[in-house]
Amino acid sequence: MTTLADFAVPAPTQPTLPIIGSSARFPVRRIYCVGRNYVAHVREMGGDETRDFPLIFQKPVDAVVQDGGTVPYPPMTDDFHFELELMVAMKSGGYNIPQDEALSHVFGYGICLDMTRRRLLNTPDGPRIPWELKKSFDHSAPCGPVYPVEQVGHPASGSIRLEVDGVARQNSDLSLMIWRTPEIISTLSNYYSLEPGDVIMTGTPHGVGAVLPGNVLVGSIETLGSLTVTIGEPAVAA
What are the pLDDT digits (tens) for 69-120? 999 999 999 999 999 999 999 999 999 999 999 999 999 999 999 999 999 9
Section 11-35 average pLDDT: 94
Cα separation values, 48 from 39, 44, 53, 113, 147, Å: 9, 10, 11, 23, 34
Section 158-176 average pLDDT: 97
Q: Are strands 199-201 and 84-90 parallel, antiparallel or unpaired?
A: antiparallel
Q: Is the pLDDT of residue 191 over 60?
A: yes
Q: Who wins on pLDDT, 53 or 68?
A: 68
d(CA 51, CA 109) in angstroms, rounded, equals: 24
Burial of 181 (0-12, 13-18, 19+ CB in 10 A): buried
- Residue 46 pLDDT grade (very low, low, confident, very high; cuts 50, 70, 90): low
Q: Is the pLDDT of residue 135 over 60?
A: yes
- In the chain, the amino acid numbered 121 is L
Which of 232, 197, 215 lies closest to 14 in space, CA to CA? 197
